[in-house]
Amino acid sequence: MGREIRADYEQILMFPPSVEDWVTQDHPARFIRDFVDALDLEEMGFVVHGAEVGRPGYAADLLLKVWLYGYLNRIRASRGLERGCKENMGLIWLTGLNAPDHSSIWRFWRDNKKRIREVFKKTIQVAVRSDIIGIALHAIDGTKIPARSSRDGVKDRKKLNKLLERLDEHIDAAMEEVESAEKGEQGEYRLSEAMTDKDKRKEVIVKS
């Protein structure tokens, strides 16, 4: 039997990882970063409540990138986005490891709903003009496009054009989904305090 690749949980990195290497050059998160960085959020009137004491508050562009990633990937709840900022490499990269808590994410949404809606719409329009059909289709109706022939690409564009005629309706529905998700959100599952100890955890698993 040949050698098998297994996880080495004790390995130590010789060189610190570079943030730019965390996602590939064709990752959609790069489009989101460039898109938001090209906006003048102050001119658009975005509101951010900075922390008066303790650690600084999260910047508007960082929180907007989180919500935009959520919109394009159909993650509608602040707790889901908080979790994603710790587990989803696209969000980890966008935030630069500065994972905002769900309360900060939700306050930003609450204070900037109209402006965020404008950004959602403009993002789809720019994606279409840039021929990034997959991002637009997935955001609007969940369609995922694999690598396919040019003929299929034509079909996708025709489908997208029909959906774009009702873009405002689709965005309104997404906004409502966020509001509904927030009302029904529950805390995420975590290990009990007793199970955070590695030795005790192994002992329980072996005895089970």
Q: In this predicted model, what pLDDT tens digit does every residue of 83-131 receive, in sequence order? A: 999 999 999 999 999 999 999 999 999 999 999 999 999 999 998 888 8
Whether 131 is in a domain gets the answer yes
Element (H, E) at 194: none
Between the CA of residue 116 and those of 49, 103, 145, 155, 180, what are the distances in Å?
16, 17, 26, 30, 17
Distance CA 138, CA 157 (A): 13
Whether 207 is in a domain gets the answer no
Distance CA 129, CA 124 (A): 9
Q: Is the pTM of this model over 0.85?
A: no
pLDDT in tens, 7-63: 787 887 777 778 888 888 989 999 999 999 999 999 999 987 665 556 788 999 999
Quote the pLDDT of residue 149.
41
pLDDT average, residue stretch 147-168 = 69
Q: Per mean pLDDT, which range of 8-17, 151-160, 198-207 is the poorest?
A: 151-160
Q: Which residue has the higher pLDDT, 139 or 43?
A: 43
Whether 187 is in a domain gets the answer no
Structure tokens at 203: 């002992």
Whether 75 is in a domain gets the answer yes
Whether 151 is in a domain gets the answer yes
pLDDT above 50 for 151: no
Q: Per mean pLDDT, which range of 26-40, 81-95, 143-157, 174-188 is the poorest?
A: 143-157
Contact indicator for 135, 31 with CB cutoff of 8 Å: yes
Number of domains in the chain: 1
Element (H, E) at 75: none
Whether 13 is in a domain gets the answer no
Whether 10 is in a domain gets the answer no
**159 lies in which domain range?**
19-181
Distance CA 185, CA 172 (A): 20
Q: What mean pLDDT, rounded, does the chain reach?
A: 84
Most confident of 13-17, 64-68, 143-147, 203-207: 64-68
CB atoms within 10 A of CB 93: 21
